[in-house]
Chain A
Amino acid sequence: MSDPDPSRPATRTGPLAEEAAVVAAAARGDRSAFAQLMEHYQGACYGLAWRLLGDPDLAADATQDAFIHAYDHIGAYRGGVFRSWLLRITANASYDILRRSQRRPTTALPEPDEGQADIADPRAVNPVAESARAELYRALDAALRLLPEDQRVAVVLCDVYGMDYQEVAESIQSPIGTVKSRIHRGRLRLRVLLADQRELFEV
């Protein structure tokens, strides 16, 4: 597994300006409006897919599948947070690929010099803090990849992307009790994995 992103965005994508109007236009068949939405959220969708699948190419495939599904079903979108709707579609597409691939993602840690996430952005207000935060994100992603697949999927959907238990259960088609157990065990395991990097959390 390789780090997919040498220039990862520092933050998460927020809502698009006048998003409701753009979504409504896309639902009416305005292809340029739909493209605008996908361009805006492709980083969020790809990030979710990559964290679920652990492979850049598979993640791109899953994101592409999600876009096509969203295009076909945007008429069924009934309001709410568009980002969450799109992320649920991406999660389903990723989980479909995960089940089809039937291969366990590699668990090797990324190379220390891989990517540029640990290089300070000179435009940042506090380059040192930004660099430390980037290092924390790298450590978190590396630890996530060390989780068993079922726990990783549940933790990513719930703790990283904010889905509630019910949404996670629907995405991975498992009982809520099973989902809760996987999330809790995943958190505990992550804590152990990151125990020797506690200083990263003090940023």
Chain B
Amino acid sequence: MSMTTRAHPDPERLAALAGADPDVLSDRELIDHLADCATCDGQVRDLRVLRTALAELPDLVPSRPLRLLPPVPEPQAAAGWRIAFRRAFAPLAVAGMVLLLVGGVGATGALGPADAGAFLQRLQVAAPAAMEAATGQPEETATDAGMAPDEMASPEGTRGQTGAMATDPPRAADATAAPGESMAEVIGGSDTGRDGDLAAAEDRAGWILGALAGIGLLGLALVLRRSAAPIDRGLSGR
């Protein structure tokens, strides 16, 4: 059988031979065929020239300027405190709101009426005694007797009332005001009343301080939130 009548090999094997594929380099039958077949040999030569030309294809200039480096990553430590700040915002804000609310209500509403009630009660009890001490007779007696103001001012009336006052037990003894407590003391605060007022004022000051602390916490939370803001921008943009 002549070589020209032999069937041509699979073209893919010729392409593999052109690429120096080890699988076909040792194929003696293929090599022998090429030695006798100008068509297949020419095809392999063309493919080798083609490969050589492909391997020489030049590099290309990018169509646009390329960024050679990725953006500088944010330092891990800075990112750490920013994350901590962001996480601290919610608890601080809630705590601040609660303190502000409770302190505000306590300072303006909860204690105010109570203190006023206690103050008025002491005033009602201590006022007659103070008046008695100032005028020399019980204020209620003169009023209850229906005496005219000029009668009450007469020497007899005054003496009588003075005598009665001297013999009667002090009315203030059954009241909350201390015996002998004057109006000025009640208004200005007796020792007991002043202590109570001071205690109430201290309590009120505590509530106010609590509210101020709440405002401070809210402010701190907002500052932390603003400080942590750049990491949000960094994560959202790229």
A94 sits at the interface (CB 8 A): no
Stretch at the interface among A17-25, A30-38, A95-103, A120-128: A30-38
A137 touches B57 (CB 8 A): yes
In the complex, chain B residues whose CB is within 8 Å of the CB of A201: 49-50, 53
B43 CB, min distance to chain A CBs, angstroms: 7
B63 sits at the interface (CB 8 A): yes
Cα A180 to Cα B22 in complex, Å, equals 12
Of residues B15, B16, B62, B69, which shows the largest number of chain A Cβ atoms within 10 Å of its Cβ? B62
In the complex, chain B residues whose CB is within 8 Å of the CB of A13: 59
Report which of A5, A11, A60, A184 forms a contact with B16, defined as CB distance below 8 A: A184
Of residues A13, A180, A185, which shows the largest number of chain B Cβ atoms within 10 Å of its Cβ? A180
B70 touches A159 (CB 8 A): no
User: With contacts A46-B66, A159-B19 known, is A185 near B12, CB below 8 A?
Assistant: yes
Report which of A60, A140, A191 forms a contact with B62, defined as CB distance below 8 A: A60
Q: Which residue of A lies closest to B16 (CB)?
A: A184
Cα A13 to Cα B61 in complex, Å, equals 11
A188 sits at the interface (CB 8 A): yes
Report which of A31, A64, A181 forms a contact with B66, defined as CB distance below 8 A: A64
Q: Which residue of B lies closest to A181 (CB)?
A: B12
B46 sits at the interface (CB 8 A): yes
A180 touches B21 (CB 8 A): yes
Cα A71 to Cα B72 in complex, Å, equals 11
Cα A200 to Cα B39 in complex, Å, equals 21
Contact bitstring A63-74, B, C-beta under 8 A = 1, else 0: 110011001100
A78 sits at the interface (CB 8 A): no
B28 sits at the interface (CB 8 A): no
B224 sits at the interface (CB 8 A): no
Contact bitstring A53-65, B, C-beta under 8 A = 1, else 0: 0001101100110
B59 touches A140 (CB 8 A): no
B101 sits at the interface (CB 8 A): no
B60 touches A39 (CB 8 A): no
Report which of A47, A64, A187 forms a contact with B59, defined as CB distance below 8 A: A47
**Interchain Cβ contacts under 8 Å between A and B, 10 examples:** A5-B60, A34-B68, A63-B62, A67-B67, A137-B56, A140-B54, A160-B54, A185-B15, A187-B19, A201-B49
Residues of A within 8 A of B (CB): 4-5, 7-13, 31, 34-35, 38-39, 42-44, 46-47, 50-51, 56-57, 59-60, 63-64, 67-68, 71-72, 136-137, 140-141, 155, 158-160, 162, 180-181, 183-185, 187-188, 190-191, 194, 201
Residues of B within 8 A of A (CB): 11-16, 18-19, 21, 43, 46-47, 49-51, 53-64, 66-70, 72
- Listed from nearest, the 4 A-B pairs whose CB atoms lie closest are A43-B59, A56-B63, A184-B15, A47-B60
